[in-house]
Amino acid sequence: MTHIDWRDASRWWSVRLSAFGSLLYAAMLLMPERLLDLWAMMPVELRALLPARAGDWLGMILFALVIVARLLPQPVRDHRPRPAERGALSAKALGGTAVIAAALTLAIAGLRVDEGKRNTGYADIAGVATICFGHTGPDVRAGQYRTDAECETLLRRDAQAHLAGALACSPELAERPNQLAAVTRLTFNIGVAGYCRSSIARHFAAGRWRQGCDRFLAFRFAGGRPVRGLLLRRQRERTLCLAGLPA
């Protein structure tokens, strides 16, 4: 038997019309006096337009409408995950494995060094409101204060989101904690979309792991100029990425 989600069924006109008919029939049985009062309140001209035994006709009309509505295509919600959710689903499905847990731990440890921590909100070099370990978003404003515990919570949440995004683009990372951790750190800086479009992701998809790790160094520019701080960060990420790979 096919299972029907009640949230889908509630959108069907056949179900809505059946529910309306059931409520109307219940009102006729339980509150006939109230219905007669409503009938008496109706303008005489309007009552004259209604046929005799209108109640019987109403029932047949509703029944016919239910049949017609049931034959029409029924609106059904799309239960497939949206693109933005696929990474989160991947992380949820894999979150309990030792590889994912190890990658997340490695990424968080590195991000503490990469990002640094500022408990008070500030505008970064690009003018983006930032707080804690590089956390940005609509919940951040300049001058806002976060405790150390809140910063740790934000860091873990952000790292999980970036890890999930990396897995959505490169599912082959699910069995490689060092490479997954390195990519998670990289996406903190260039974004998940930037990683997904990068040559790093293409190399990893083709099994060229060392070549992919070497491409980390390409992301050392800001405003078209190399930045020493970014180069040092990319070198740390590349070192982690190469860990455990065959020479």
Q: Is the pLDDT confidence value at 18 over 70?
A: no
Kindly indicate the confidence band of residue 94, based on its pLDDT and cuts at 50, 70 and 90.
Answer: very low
> Does residue 91 fall inside a structural domain?
yes
- 130-173 pLDDT, tens digit per residue, is 999 999 999 999 999 999 999 999 999 999 999 999 999 999 99
Residues 106 and 42 in one domain: no
Residues 172 and 64 in one domain: no
Q: Is the pLDDT confidence value at 216 over 70?
A: yes
Kindly indicate the confidence band of residue 78, based on its pLDDT and cuts at 50, 70 and 90.
Answer: very low
Residues 92 and 213 in one domain: yes
Q: Is the pLDDT confidence value at 8 over 60?
A: no
- 27-76 pLDDT, tens digit per residue, is 555 666 665 666 566 676 665 665 555 555 555 665 566 566 556 655 54
Residue 239: other Cβ atoms inside 10 A: 13
CB neighbour class for 24 (10 Å; exposed up to 12, middle 13-18, buried from 19): middle
Residues 104 and 22 in one domain: no
Number of domains present in the structure of the chain: 2
Kindly indicate the confidence band of residue 97, based on its pLDDT and cuts at 50, 70 and 90.
Answer: confident
Beta-sheet strands, E only, within 117-220: 118-123, 129-132, 135-136
Instruction: Show the domain range for 20.
Output: 6-71
Look up residue 117 and give its two tokens: 């921590």
